[in-house]
Structure 1
Amino acid sequence: MTAISIDTAYGPARVYLHCAEEGDAVLMLGHGAGGGLGAKDLVEVTRAAQAAGVHVALVEQPYRVAGRRAPAPANQLDTAWLTVAEDLSARFDSLPFVFGGRSSGARVACRTASAGQAVAVLCLAFPEHPPGKPEKTRQPELDAVDVPVLVVQGERDPFGRPTGGPHHEIVMVDGDHTLSADLESVSRAATEWLSRVLRPLA
């Protein structure tokens, strides 16, 4: 694992690189709003992707690097994310990039997929709406992505359940918003999907 700091307009972001022996793509993963990169599902997917021949970049947003728990506004998160993606693209000699993350990080990945030229998006516990407020849906962020999307969602997630679409598939697993009840299923879903979406690019 290699840790690097990347300057953004909102302060430095920290990136933890977990490189595969012979990686043919890069998976960028972001954390949740108040959580960190040690979330069990992020750790599990990092391990699985690396084993499947995909480099993984775990991205810590500038507000977290600065020690704040309250998330930055969406436009700041998205701008910082795209700055990191541009820097990493140069480091990895323009390998195809998959954007991803858990919860808030999944939303960032969806919103920036087009601008960042991601070939696919991996969402862990996409927060479809705030708990108890289904009218405040975030489904349009998911629907706007025009590359393949996988959403791994807990059956009992209080943040709701997104609906599938032409470009995105939903895999339901046992558990809540943490996805920690059945990490094996999370890992299996991510590995199978990554292999499928990246195979045509190899």
Structure 2
Amino acid sequence: MTTEVDELDVPTPHGPARVALRRSGLCSGLMVLGHGAGGGIEAPDLLAAGEAGDGLSLAVARVLQPYRVAGRKAPAPAAQLDESWACVLAALTDRFPDTPQVHGGRSSGARVACRGAITAAPPPVGVLTLAFPLLAPARKDGTRPDRGPEIDAVDAAGIPVLAVSGDADRFGVPSAGEHREVVTVRGDHSLRAKGPVRDAVGAWLEGLFPGVRELPPVE
């Protein structure tokens, strides 16, 4: 299978988002992935998920939020992240019309994908969460806000979810749900075990795209 790698900037109200887009000559679907709060699109688990998508001839778009494009490490407010994500989804939908989409990301990016999946048009056929941070870092009073409602809302909407987490993730691991499969691999929040992550994501994607394997290259 031959692939092209494109880098494109997508305008948003908060500055350009940058998309690294890898696609086959023929694609069976589109997977859009967002990064963690202080990281980027080269995180091991994002690369592993992308490799799993390659095996099923999905176009894979890894999205760098505007604050990271601008060189800032401190994450933007959630509302800005969500708005920028929606702009990217709209641009990619125009580029890949009538193509089934999987939305996802790691950590903060997984939260953005979950929030956006409820209102996305078209809705995704699945949501992939890598190292979903179920519990926020502890506040001064020791409490840890629960982010569970964000991922639970996707399950309640009937959208298939795969949650892949390290078994020693200090931010917790989501529980299985009616439409949510949970896979734990050895490791912590960084999810550096690329092989197990790739295998788990690949098996789940095969369920979303049954009968699809690598498509032949375009001559």
- TM-score, length-normalised on structure 1? 0.95
The answer for the alignment partner of 2:216 in structure 1 is none
Q: How does 1:104-115 map to 2 (within 5 A)?
A: 104-115=108-119
Letter in 1 for 2:40: G
Query: Do structure 1's residue 119 and structure 2's residue 128 form an aligned pair?
Result: no
The answer for the alignment partner of 1:162 in structure 2 is 174
Q: What do the CA deviations read for 1:13-54 (whole angstroms, capped 9, x no partner)?
A: 000101034211100000000001111111121122112211
Letter in 1 for 2:152: D
Question: What secondary structure is seen at the aligned counterpart in 1 of 2:200?
Answer: helix
| Alignment partner of 2:164 out of 142, 152, 162 | 152
Contact 2:136 2:147 in 1 (8 A): no
Query: Do structure 1's residue 187 and structure 2's residue 163 form an aligned pair?
Result: no
Q: Distance in 1 between matches of 2:84 and 2:190?
A: 25
Q: Distance in 1 between matches of 2:50 and 2:125?
A: 18
What is the aligned-residue RMSD (CA, Å)? 1.7
Q: Distance in 1 between matches of 2:56 and 2:28?
A: 10
- TM-score, length-normalised on structure 2? 0.87
Q: Distance in 1 between matches of 2:79 and 2:136?
A: 19
Query: Do structure 1's residue 138 and structure 2's residue 144 form an aligned pair?
Result: no
Q: Closer, same or farther in 2 for the Cα pair 1:134/1:118, shift >3 Å? A: farther
Q: Percent identity?
A: 47
Quick one: higher RCO (CA 8 Å, sep 6+), 1 or 2? Answer: 2
The answer for the alignment partner of 1:39 in structure 2 is 43
Letter in 1 for 2:151: L
The answer for the alignment partner of 1:80 in structure 2 is 84
Query: Do structure 1's residue 11 and structure 2's residue 11 form an aligned pair?
Result: no
Which structure 2 residue ranges, 5 or more long, are not aligned? 213-219
The answer for the alignment partner of 1:173 in structure 2 is 185
Contact 2:137 2:144 in 1 (8 A): no
Deviation at 1:162, TM superposition (A): 1.2
